[in-house]
Amino acid sequence: MNTTVNNGGDDLVQNRLLSYLQDQLPFKIEELKPIRKKVYLLRTQERAFVLKGFSSYHRLKLQEAFTSSLMNEGFAKTYIFYEVAKEPPLFFDRTYFGCLEYIPPSEEVFTYFLKSDRLEGLNLLKNFHDTTEKLVSRYQTVVPAYRQADKWRERATLFLNNLPVIRYFVQKEIINELLAWADWALKGIEEDAWLFQYGRKVILHGDVAHHNFLRAKDQSLYLLDFDLIAVGTPHSDYLQYANRILPFMKWSFDDLGKYSIFKSNLEEKGFLHALAFPTDIFREWNRVIRDRTYLDSVKIRPVLDLTVGQFAERQRFIKALKYAVNEINK
């Protein structure tokens, strides 16, 4: 049996968790390996599971029900939960744990560096929306409504509060332009609020980072982790997806328009304005300041590259957005 960690206090917690699981599960555990915080790979002689922790019983049951609903509606490119505990639910150290299907990964990981992966991920996200549109009425009382402008105002406010630290790293001219982009974006979203409030409603994924897509051993692509699901229009997930892939496309407005799903969105003024909001920059600065890792040269380097290294490319992108808005207004 292998616990495969040597993290002091974390090791002690894991040994206690292992002891608890051995008592609660009907099979012998051969390996308990941490993947990230409160997520473990659990191997038995017969099979493997992913053990994932949730802060409440409600969150656990919501995830179980939602992934089951996806499967029932025909969306098979995700995991399912297994009920394996002798006395469910699994509850340890104030955390509820679920046993998820382990999907063996490919040696070729999914990455936004590759155009083929970017396109495949976008198509999978569209399939996800087509499925979750059928689930909105079932989940709208237990899943929050996504409020794009409110979320971004909150993020911008926190960024403003963090400026005393950020000014040590980023020149004021760049900061002032970032804030001008945010202001232009939010005003445009308010003018076209209907785009994010009305029309087709789906259950959004809410976190389309590359690590929530998994390339399986059979080369199929899977969508993972539905912790941030919310009811909204597909535009919000597509905005986030665009924001995630644009750094790998040198912030090319023309190349973004070559994706058929984005082409129609780029004809909407509200979507164009929203693309200007520097949500990734605000998010990453707020994170490193919250975690007090801004003095760690390894962790601050990608944030500086995002903010300063890509600034000229991003300036050109914003210019293209404003030109596109002006063309629509003619």
pLDDT digits (tens, 9 = 90+) for 70-86: 999 999 999 999 998 88
For residue 56, is it left (φ>0), alpha (ψ between -120 and 50) or beta? beta
Contacts of 265 (CB under 8 A, 6+ apart): 235, 238, 271
Concatenate the DSSP letters of all residues of 274-310 into one string: HHTS-HHHHHHHHHHHHTT-TT-HHHHHHHHIIIIIT
pLDDT digits (tens, 9 = 90+) for 150-161: 999 999 999 999
Mean pLDDT of the residues in the chain: 94
| Rounded distance between C-alpha atoms, residue 181 and residue 113, angstroms | 26
pLDDT for the residue numbered 45:
87
pLDDT for the residue numbered 40:
96
For the segment 312-322, the average pLDDT, to the nearest whole number, is: 97
pLDDT for the residue numbered 128:
98
User: Residue 1 above 70 pLDDT?
Assistant: no
> How far lies 285's CA from each of 39, 183, 298, 330, in Å?
26, 18, 14, 37
Quote the tokens at residue 130. 């087509």
pLDDT for the residue numbered 10:
67
> How far lies 230's CA from each of 44, 238, 241, 247, in Å?
35, 14, 16, 26
| Rounded distance between C-alpha atoms, residue 266 and residue 242, angstroms | 11
pLDDT for the residue numbered 46:
87
> How far lies 29's CA from each of 7, 22, 104, in Å?
20, 7, 18
Q: Parallel, antiparallel, or unpaired for β 202-204 and 90-92?
A: unpaired
**CB-CB contact of 162 with 97 (8 Å):** no
Amino acid at 176: N
pLDDT digits (tens, 9 = 90+) for 275-298: 999 999 999 999 999 999 999 999
SS3 content of the chain, % helix, strand, coil (to 5): 55, 15, 30
pLDDT digits (tens, 9 = 90+) for 92-126: 999 999 999 999 999 999 999 999 999 999 999 99
Contacts of 176 (CB under 8 A, 6+ apart): none
Has this prediction a pTM greater than 0.85?
Answer: yes
